[in-house]
C-alpha cells in the first residue's frame, strides 16, 4: 500500500492511499480519515460509497465529514467507484453512466467488463481486509452509507450483510435499479439480460426477496433533477412498510443532488451511525 498524501485535520489524519487490487486487476485509490484516538484503541468504521462520475476525492474534499468523525470517533473509508487505468474498458460511447466512474458495485459477468469490474468483491472483501490490516479499525463495528449510485451500493451491501453492518443509510439513492434507466443500462451491461441475476443488486428486490435490516435512514432532496425518473424513493418506502423495516425517509425541500445537499446532512447521518456503532 502506497500513501499518496496525509494531512492533519481536526486532530486526526486524512490520508489517500493506492494499492494493487487483485479483485480489479488495477491500481485502486481510496481515502481514509482516522480521528484522534488513544494509542492502541480500535475505532468503528463507516464506509462511504460515491456516485456516478465520482472518485474517492469527491466526498473527501466536499463531504464535510471530518469534524463529526473526530467528535464521534469514527474512521471513514471512501473507495473509488470503478477500476481505472490503461486497458480498462469504458462505455463505448463515452457516456457518464456506465464504465469508468460507474461500476455500480457489482461483479460484472459480461465481456469485456468481467475482468476488471469487480467492485462488489473489492468493496466487500479485498478492501476491508486491507483496512483491518493497516488501520486501527474495529471490524466488529462497521456501518455503510452512500450517495446516488453509492446509495444503491450501500443499501444492497447493507441488506446483503446485515450481521456486518450495524447501520445503513443513503443520500438520494437509486433504490430500484431494475426499474429505472440508469440501473437497466448498467445491470444489462455488467450482468447480462437475465433480470433474475439483477435482484441481488436491487434494494427493493432484495427486500421483496426477504432481506432485512432493523432500520434505514434516507435523505432525498425535493429539487433533485433525478428524483422522479432515476431515484424513486417511494418504491423503497412501500417495500419497507411491507417488510416492517423502520425507514426514516426525509424529503428535504429545495435541495438538489449535489454535495451541497450531502454536506448539509452528513453530520446527521454520522451521528445516526455512531448511535448504532456504540
Report the helix count and the strand count for the chain, using DSSP H and E: 9, 9
The fraction of the chain above a pLDDT of 70, given in percent, is 100
Q: pLDDT tens, 103-143? A: 999 999 999 999 999 999 999 999 999 999 999 999 999 99
Q: Which residues contact 221 (CB under 8 A, 6 or more apart)?
A: 172, 227, 251, 252, 254, 255, 256, 257, 261
Average pLDDT score, the chain: 98
Catalytic site residue 27? no
Cis? peptide before 112, omega within 30° of 0? yes
Q: pLDDT tens, 192-246? A: 999 999 999 999 999 999 999 999 999 999 999 999 999 999 999 999 999 999 9
Q: pLDDT tens, 181-205? A: 999 999 999 999 999 999 999 999 9
Can you give the length of the chain in residues? 278
Catalytic site residue 269? no
Which of 21, 31, 143, 148 is catalytic? The answer is 148
pLDDT reported for residue 236: 98
pLDDT band at 102 (very low <50, low <70, confident <90, very high): very high
CA distance 234 to 194: 25
Which of 152, 201, 257, 273 is catalytic? The answer is 257
pLDDT reported for residue 164: 98
E strands within the chain? 2-9, 12-20, 27-34, 43-49, 75-78, 137-147, 165-171, 215-221, 246-252
Which of 152, 224, 269, 273 is catalytic? The answer is 224
Architecture of domain 2-277: 3-Layer(aba) Sandwich (3.40)
Catalytic site residue 21? no
> Which single residue is written with the C-alpha cell 425517509?
249
Query: Strand 75-78 relative to strand 27-34: parallel, antiparallel, unpaired?
Result: antiparallel
Q: What are phi and psi of 30, to 5 degrees?
A: -150, 165
Amino acid at each position: 500500500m502506497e500513501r499518496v498524501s496525509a494531512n492533519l485535520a481536526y486532530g486526526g489524519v486524512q490520508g489517500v492511499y493506492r494499492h494493487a487490487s487483485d479483485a480489479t486487476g488495477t491500481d485502486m485509490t481510496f481515502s481514509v480519515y482516522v480521528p484522534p484516538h488513544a494509542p492502541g484503541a480500535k475505532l468503528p468504521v463507516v464506509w462511504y460509497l460515491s456516485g456516478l462520475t465520482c472518485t474517492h476525492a469527491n466526498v473527501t474534499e466536499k463531504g464535510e465529514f471530518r469534524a463529526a468523525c473526530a467528535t464521534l470517533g469514527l474512521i471513514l473509508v471512501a473507495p473509488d467507484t470503478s477500476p481505472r487505468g490503461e486497458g480498462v474498458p469504458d462505455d463505448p460511447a463515452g457516456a457518464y453512466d456506465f464504465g469508468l466512474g460507474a461500476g455500480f458495485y457489482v461483479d460484472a459477468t459480461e465481456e469485456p467488463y468481467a475482468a476488471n469490474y469487480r467492485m462488489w468483491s473489492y468493496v466487500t472483501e479485498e478492501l476491508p481486509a486491507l483496512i483491518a490490516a493497516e488501520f486501527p479499525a474495529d471490524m466488529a463495528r462497521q456501518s455503510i452509507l452512500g450517495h446516488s449510485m453509492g446509495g444503491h451500493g450501500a443499501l444492497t451491501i447493507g441488506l446483503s450483510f446485515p450481521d456486518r453492518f450495524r447501520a445503513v443509510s443513503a443520500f438520494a439513492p437509486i433504490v430500484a435499479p431494475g426499474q429505472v434507466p440508469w440501473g437497466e443500462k448498467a445491470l444489462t451491461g455488467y450482468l447480462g439480460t437475465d433480470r433474475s441475476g439483477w435482484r441481488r443488486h436491487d434494494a427493493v428486490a432484495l427486500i421483496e426477496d426477504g432481506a432485512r435490516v432493523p432500520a434505514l435512514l434516507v435523505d432525498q432532496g425535493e429539487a433533485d433533477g433525478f428524483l422522479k425518473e432515476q431515484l424513486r424513493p417511494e418504491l423503497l418506502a412501500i417495500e419497507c412498510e411491507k417488510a416492517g423495516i423502520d425507514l426514516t425517509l426525509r424529503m428535504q425541500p429545495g435541495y438538489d443532488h449535489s454535495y451541497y445537499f450531502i454536506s448539509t446532512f452528513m453530520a446527521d447521518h454520522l451521528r445516526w451511525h455512531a448511535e448504532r456503532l456504540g
